[in-house]
Amino acid sequence: MTFNLDTQAPAVEQEISPKAPQDWAKIGLILLVFAFFTVILIVPVIYVFVGAFSNGLPGFLGTLSSREFLNALRLTLMAVAVAVPLNVIFGLCAALVLARKSFRGRTFLLSVIDLPFSISPVVAGLMLVSLYGRQGLLNPVLQALDLRIIFAFPGIALATILGGMPFVAREVIPVLEEIGDEEEEAAKTLGASSWQTFWRVTLPAIRWALGYGIILTTARAMGEFGSIAVVSSNLIGRTQTLTLFVDSSYRNYDSQGAFATAVVLAGLAAFTLVIKQLLEHLYTKRYKAE
Amino acid sequence: MTLAAADLRGPNQPKNVLAKISIPWIVVFAHLFIILLFPLLALLLQAIVLNPAQFWALATTPIALSTYNITFGTATVAAIVNMLAGTLTAWVLVRYQFPGKRFLDGIIDLPFALPTAVAGITLATIYNQSGWIGQFFAPFGIQIAFSRVGVAIAMIFVSLPFVVRTVQPVLQEVEPTIEEAAWSLGASRFQTFWKVILPPIIPAILTGTAQAFARAVGEFGSVVLVAANVPFQDLIAPVLVFQRLEGADIPGATVIGLVLLLISLVLLLIINLLQAWGRRYDV
């Protein structure tokens, strides 16, 4: 799940010169790519909207005003409200540490931060259960303190934090490395404290990357499914997040309700992509200007 | 103890890590340990508690073995499909101008952004026997949703962006003039592709393919909704972990989960090595 602003070099207008044997191959290849994307991606995405409005607008609005949906939305937003700020603070600190200092094990630490991308969401949930669950290692302590983590909100929050952990650091590190530390050093030389330097020099320089990292973390938090399914599989009171609500509505043959909720989530996904395109566009323009 | 403690020295002097415990370090390590590393260690310890014979027995039950086969076999198919389709897509996006190019480039990342549960219910609906696409296959007795084919399609969907996004930037760097030089020296188009275009982008293709494979192996949300999740037919390892957890079989889930975790770590190592290999020509 990486979106790097720098993976896409500016789109240079490249046409093979007229001397090149131009034939049907080019058109054939383009059509082939479109056929693949139509079957795998475009048709499914169109269907999300069709399914959501299968009972017309009233059905769609009916789902969005139902108590179950609103409860699911509230729980998801609560998880987002806990996970995103913590991940942003973590990501910023990790970026400052990794981009500004060299130390042994730096590459290893980078890989560790990226781990949540490569672990199956079910295994991520299982890890949390192994530590914080009823038969987990911390159970005696949690019992003594009368804390419930798994099958309760803290477990959902932990799973959400785990899934979105790498995004901010990943977006901010390349930018910090690119801008270098001259301005920060200058600020310090002129007597700024480290906080002042961070707020007035570093933060303005990384604001775009940080903003995009926050959007990615939020999108991931709203869409987190596998690990939350594990840590809340028999939650008392059957409170669900939006993704679990999609899953259970679909299994209970309420496909209209499932797709109406899916549209809300898909809209958020589309929003992240629009922002991404916009940032790339700005970045390319700046890149060309230089 | 402030941020500035060690900052005034040059950025490239190796320093003693213990000498500069600053606020960011504390935040990074607290977060990493509470959220990721302690749970990871807990999973390892839970598995170690079982004796090796028990562990082996749980990890190699007939159902478990069949889920490994189905998971890795289907993920391999998905990774190969994405390797071919992704390389082709990158090629078309870099080299050709055509209507809808921006749109295509914009939607490629959608599988990363779309929640897997949404992908799951959508694919299950479209590819079932009366679905938009499934209906064309039903008369031939081909069932897509609730079978291994559906699992493959879900895996292709979620890992679709990797190869395109790794190959695209590398392909941008390959100058078309080199091809023209090859043609002018009498190479056929096929020879040009095989000997001039392909070699520099091979590391990127392999990196993207390995990433796609790793993602497909761990996928849960979309597959659990598309598949029938029947053992020996289309049950994958992550779904088996989930089913065992639901059945309160913690040791059984832990063992399969640990197998999956170790495989993820090995794949991560392979991906890192591939990336290093890809950068060997970089200045």
* pLDDT number for residue B254: 93
Q: In degrees, to the nearest 5, what angle opens at C-alpha B226 toward C-alphas A271 and B123?
A: 45
Q: How many CB atoms lie within 10 A of CB B159?
A: 28
Residue in this structure with the two tokens 């899953």, named with its chain if needed? A247
Cα(B43)–Cα(A136) distance, integer angstroms: 9
Those residues with Cβ within 8 angstroms of residue B181's Cβ, 6 or more apart along the chain or in another chain:
none
Give the residue from A145, A150, A114, A118 showing the smallest Cα distance to A132.
A150
In chain A, which residues have their Cβ closer than 8 Å to the Cβ of B257? 122-123, 126-127
- The better pLDDT of the pair B151, A135 is held by B151
Question: Do A164 and A217 contact (CB within 8 A), yes or no?
Answer: yes
Q: Which two tokens stand for residue B20?
A: 């500069």
SS3 content of chain B, % helix, strand, coil (to 5): 75, 0, 25
Give the residue from B102, B157, B149 showing the smallest Cα distance to A48.
B157
Q: Is B266 on the interface with A (CB under 8 A)?
A: no
Return residues 55-84 of A near B (CB < 8 Å). Answer: none
* pLDDT number for residue A221: 95
* pLDDT number for residue A194: 84
* pLDDT number for residue B282: 60
* pLDDT number for residue B139: 86
The partner residue sitting opposite A8, judged by closest CB among B38, B112, B168, is: B168
* pLDDT number for residue A286: 74
Q: In degrees, to the nearest 5, what angle opens at C-alpha A141 toward C-alphas A136 and A142?
A: 70
Phi then psi for residue A196, to 5 deg, are: -60, -45
Give the residue from B48, B164, B170, B264 showing the smallest Cα distance to A111.
B264
Question: Do B260 and A123 contact (CB within 8 A), yes or no?
Answer: yes
Amino acid code (one letter) for B271 = I
* pLDDT number for residue B21: 65
pLDDT category at A22 given cuts 50, 70, 90 is low
Question: Do A218 and A80 contact (CB within 8 A), yes or no?
Answer: yes
In chain B, which residues have their Cβ closer than 8 Å to the Cβ of A47? 122, 125-126, 132
- Axis-axis angle for helices A203-223, A255-289 (nearest 10): 160
* pLDDT number for residue A168: 95
- Selected residue of A4, A29, A118, A128 to mutate for chain B interface (largest B Cβ count, 10 A): A118
Question: Do B223 and B236 contact (CB within 8 A), yes or no?
Answer: yes
* pLDDT number for residue B176: 80
Question: Do B119 and A226 contact (CB within 8 A), yes or no?
Answer: no
The partner residue sitting opposite B218, judged by closest CB among A17, A51, A119, is: A119
- Selected residue of B118, B132, B144 to mutate for chain A interface (largest A Cβ count, 10 A): B118
Question: Do B245 and A230 contact (CB within 8 A), yes or no?
Answer: yes
User: What is the tens place of the pLDDT at every residue in A231-248?
Assistant: 987 565 567 999 999 999
In chain B, which residues have their Cβ closer than 8 Å to the Cβ of A43? 126, 132-133
* pLDDT number for residue B281: 63
- Selected residue of A19, A26, A41 to mutate for chain B interface (largest B Cβ count, 10 A): A41
User: What is the tens place of the pLDDT at every residue in A164-198?
Assistant: 999 999 999 999 988 888 888 899 899 888 888 88
Cα(A98)–Cα(A176) distance, integer angstroms: 9
Question: Do A269 and A103 contact (CB within 8 A), yes or no?
Answer: no
In chain A, which residues have their Cβ closer than 8 Å to the Cβ of B132? 43, 47
Taking the CA of residue B142 and the nearest CA in chain A, the distance in Å comes to: 16
In chain B, which residues have their Cβ closer than 8 Å to the Cβ of A40? 153, 156-157, 160
The partner residue sitting opposite A119, judged by closest CB among B17, B106, B264, is: B264
Q: Is B139 on the interface with A (CB under 8 A)?
A: no
Q: Is A181 on the interface with B (CB under 8 A)?
A: yes
Cβ of B4 and A188 within 8 Å? yes
User: What is the tens place of the pLDDT at every residue in A148-166?
Assistant: 888 889 999 999 999 999 9
Residue in this structure with the two tokens 């590398």, named with its chain if needed? B170
Cα(B211)–Cα(B267) distance, integer angstroms: 8
In chain A, which residues have their Cβ closer than 8 Å to the Cβ of B272? 111
Q: How far is CA A113 from the centre of its chain?
A: 14
Q: Is A51 on the interface with B (CB under 8 A)?
A: yes
SS3 content of chain A, % helix, strand, coil (to 5): 75, 0, 25
Cα(B61)–Cα(B55) distance, integer angstroms: 10
* pLDDT number for residue B24: 87
pLDDT by 10s per residue, chain B, length 283: 444 444 444 444 444 544 556 888 899 999 999 999 999 999 999 888 888 888 999 899 999 999 999 999 999 999 999 999 999 999 999 988 999 998 999 899 999 999 999 999 999 999 998 889 998 988 888 888 889 999 999 999 999 999 999 999 999 888 888 888 888 888 887 888 888 888 889 999 999 999 999 999 999 999 999 999 999 999 999 999 999 998 888 899 999 999 999 999 999 999 989 888 888 766 4
Cα(A157)–Cα(B282) distance, integer angstroms: 41
Q: How far is CA B61 from the centre of its chain?
A: 26
Cα(A224)–Cα(A243) distance, integer angstroms: 7
Question: Do B239 and A140 contact (CB within 8 A), yes or no?
Answer: no
* pLDDT number for residue A220: 93
Q: Which helix (H) or strand (E) holds A272?
A: helix A255-289
Cα(A159)–Cα(A233) distance, integer angstroms: 13
Taking the CA of residue B138 and the nearest CA in chain A, the distance in Å comes to: 16
Q: Given a cut of 60, is residue A10 above it in pLDDT?
A: no
Q: In degrees, to the nearest 5, what angle opens at C-alpha B201 toward C-alphas B200 and B206?
A: 125
The partner residue sitting opposite A102, judged by closest CB among B14, B41, B246, is: B14
* pLDDT number for residue A235: 63
In three state form, how does the secondary structure of B158-173 look? HCCHHHHHHHHHHHHH
User: What is the tens place of the pLDDT at every residue in A47-57?
Assistant: 999 989 988 89
In chain A, which residues have their Cβ closer than 8 Å to the Cβ of B153? 40
pLDDT category at A9 given cuts 50, 70, 90 is very low
The partner residue sitting opposite A162, judged by closest CB among B36, B122, B189, is: B36
In chain A, which residues have their Cβ closer than 8 Å to the Cβ of B125? 47, 51, 255
Q: How far is CA A262 from the centre of its chain?
A: 16
The partner residue sitting opposite A102, judged by closest CB among B12, B110, B238, is: B12
